[in-house]
Structures are given as structure tokens and as C-alpha cells.
Amino acid sequence: MTCSVASVLDALGDRWGTLIVRDLALGLGRYDDFRRSTGATHATLSSRLKTLEDNGLIERRLYQSRPDRYEHHLTPRGKDIGVVLMALAQVGTSGISRNGRDRR
């Protein structure tokens, strides 16, 4: 039996996937927005978007033709993970430092 936490982390892939889902939860959705926000290379960003789509966390929607351009949106499963990531962000903002000590 696979651990449910491990399953979610596997679906996210890595830190880049996590940052993309965070950005989507915050309202970003376009490739260039993700590039600016995450600092990921083109190859990394393209790969992670594909992985997140393959894992059912995001979907692409065409917003422009010639050339085709897509916006990304969280699926219901992705929205659930986005809620968890926003909670993690709140905990981080409220006082947990990298070394695990409380900054309060």
C-alpha cells in the first residue's frame, strides 16, 4: 500500500511542480508568468507542466490561435493540493525558519 502523502508528492514531481501549483492557486496560468515567478528554465518548466498535466493536476486551455497559446488551470485534484500548499505557505510566513526553529 502506498502512503497517501507520498502519492501527492509523486504527483507534484519536485519543487518546480510544487511552485507551479502554488502559482496556479494564486491565480497565475500562463507560461511566461510561471517563468517569471519560478525562475525555471524553459526545458524544466515545459517538462513539469507536462508532468502535472499527465498526473491530472492541471489542464491546458487554448486562449489564442496562430500561434496556439494555452493557459493552465488546476483540476479539482490540483485545487485540493493548492489548498494544502497555501496552508504550508501560511505556516512558513507565520514563523518557521529553514532550520526548523520558531521565528516568533
**Does position 42 have pLDDT exceeding 90, yes or no?**
yes
Give residue 22's pLDDT: 95
User: CA-to-CA distance for 104 and 50, rounded, in angstroms?
Assistant: 39
Domain-embedded: residue 2: no
Task: Output the nine-digit C-alpha cell for 5.
Answer: 502523502
Give residue 103's pLDDT: 56
Collect all residues with Cβ–Cβ distance below 8 Å to 49 and sequence separation of at least 6: 20, 31, 34, 58, 72
The number of distinct structural domains making up the chain is 1
Containing domain of residue 50, as a range? Answer: 7-92
Mind listing the pLDDT tens digit for each residue in 53-75?
999 999 999 999 999 999 999 99
CA 38 to chain centroid, in Å, comes to 10
CATH code of the domain in which 76 resides: 1.10.10.10
Q: Point out the least confidently predicted range of 42-46, 70-74, 90-94.
A: 90-94
